[in-house]
């Protein structure tokens, strides 16, 4: 079913919207959740929460891109859950590796940047990604947005895992340079 038709079901408060969402994007939500969360039960609950969040937010929301919207919902819910698990020392898995990789790109020491700075940083990162070739951008987003494992990315692109890791390292290096040039203190 087309996304527009699924959104119409949400707006009509027809619960078939959830089944259609599950059919079309269940795999995506499950993948994002399990990439971030260390065990299966947490991932399953996260996906169920995602459907509930979609039901509760559409309407009033009418996402332009349903896939990205659901991915963002899943990601946020999984991240919240992961933070709680980490507080109980129950984190781990792929997410920890990803955080470690991203730690080399951290402006402003340990203090969360002010909201304005965050917005600016986000804009700069987006502008950087826009300038990358489709391969580098695809790999970066799959790793650092969808939290995909290096091996899953390599499988999808029929590349060697070491090549994917090297590509990620190069993109992070370029991003670091890009941010340094813009005056960020990394």
Q: In the window 125-184, what residues touch other proteins (CB under 8 A)?
A: 125-126, 129-130, 133-135, 137-139, 141-142, 144-147, 149-152, 154-163, 165
Minimal distance in Å, beta carbon 94 to other proteins? 9
B/e letters for 118-150, b = 16+ CB within 10 Å, e = fewer, are: eeebeebbeebbeebeeebeebbebbbebbbbb
8 A C-beta contact, residue 148 and residue 31:
yes
**Residue 185 engages other proteins in binding (rule: CB under 8 A):** no
**Cα 152 to Cα 96: distance, rounded to the nearest angstrom:** 16
Minimal distance in Å, beta carbon 183 to other proteins? 16
* The two three-digit tokens of residue 122, written as one number: 């986000």
| Closest C-alpha to 171, from 105, 95, 118 | 105
**Residue 56 engages other proteins in binding (rule: CB under 8 A):** no
Residue number with CB closer to other proteins (12 or 169): 169
**Residue 115 engages other proteins in binding (rule: CB under 8 A):** no
Stretch near other proteins under the rule CB under 8 A, chosen from 6-14, 53-61, 107-115 = 107-115
């Amino acid at each position: 079913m087309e996304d527009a038709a699924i959104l119409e079901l949400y707006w009509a408060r027809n619960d078939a919207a959830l089944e259609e969402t599950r059919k079309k994007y269940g795999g995506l939500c499950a993948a994002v959740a399990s990439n971030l969360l260390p065990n299966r039960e947490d991932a399953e609950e996260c996906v169920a929460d995602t459907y509930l969040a979609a039901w509760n937010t559409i309407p009033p929301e009418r996402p332009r891109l349903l896939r990205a919207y659901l991915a963002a919902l899943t990601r946020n819910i999984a991240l919240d859950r992961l933070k709680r698990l980490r507080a109980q020392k129950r984190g781990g898995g792929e997410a920890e590796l990803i955080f470690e990789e991203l730690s080399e790109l951290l402006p402003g020491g340990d203090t969360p940047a002010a909201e304005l700075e965050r917005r600016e940083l986000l804009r700069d990162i987006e502008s950087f990604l826009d300038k990358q070739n489709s391969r580098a951008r695809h790999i970066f987003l799959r790793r650092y947005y969808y939290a995909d494992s290096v091996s899953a990315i390599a499988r999808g692109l029929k590349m060697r895992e070491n090549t994917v890791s090297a590509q990620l390292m190069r993109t992070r290096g370029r991003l670091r340079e890009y941010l340094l040039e813009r005056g960020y203190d990394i």
